[in-house]
């Protein structure tokens, strides 16, 4: 809870006066698809990410009057060095990862730049009317129904 949620919460609280003083502000939190729907064996992790999603919505409502936008990016399985290392070292993890990919409409892992470019977009003036959103970067996983 401390790392996955409280750190972000406190950072938001510390940044709010500075963003308010600037006249415009933008916060992009990073959650997970695990905070949007249930996944077995991840109850604590999913709970912290669900809390992050709710924080996004609540702060967006509270801080809109100060011209501060708050959004959240919620990735699914993204190809990272840590994930690749686990896949090599743990056959059970590789099996679980294969299952995750099979449940994704776009049958592959996500790429890091597919998450980072969304974060960048949310920080641009082009996204100035977007606030309080949890945007899943998931290759269609959350709409797949299984």
Q: Is residue 136 part of a domain?
A: yes
143 near 108, Cβ under 8 Å?
Answer: no
Residue 61: its pLDDT value, please?
98
Half-sphere exposure of 76 (CA within 13 A, CB side): 25
What dihedral angle (degrees, nearest 10) is formed by the CA atoms of 127, 131, 136, 139? Answer: -30
Residue 103 lies in a domain: no
Quick one: pLDDT band at residue 88, thresholds 50, 70, 90? confident
| pLDDT tens track for 108-132 | 999 999 999 999 999 999 999 999 9
What's the pLDDT band for 84 if we cut at 50, 70, 90?
A: confident
Rounded Cα distance between 121 and 126, Å, is 7
CA distance 15 to 48: 21
Query: Is 45 a known active-site residue?
Result: yes
Q: Is the pLDDT of residue 41 over 80?
A: no
Domains of the chain: total: 1
Residue 49's CATH number:
3.40.50.720
């Amino acid at each position: 809870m401390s790392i996955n949620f409280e750190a972000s919460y406190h950072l938001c609280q510390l940044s709010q006066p500075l963003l308010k003083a600037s006249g415009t502000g933008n916060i992009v939190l990073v959650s997970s698809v695990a905070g949007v729907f249930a996944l077995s064996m991840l109850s604590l992790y999913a709970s912290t990410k669900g809390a992050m999603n709710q924080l996004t919505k609540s702060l967006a409502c509270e801080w809109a009057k100060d011209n501060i936008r708050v959004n959240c990016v919620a990735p699914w399985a993204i190809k990272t060095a840590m994930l690749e290392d686990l896949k090599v070292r743990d056959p059970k993890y590789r099996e679980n990862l294969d299952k995750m990919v099979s449940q994704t409409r776009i049958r592959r892992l996500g790429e890091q730049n597919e998450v980072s470019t969304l974060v960048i977009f949310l920080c641009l003036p082009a996204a100035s009317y977007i606030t309080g959103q949890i945007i899943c970067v998931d290759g269609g996983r959350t709409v797949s129904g299984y």
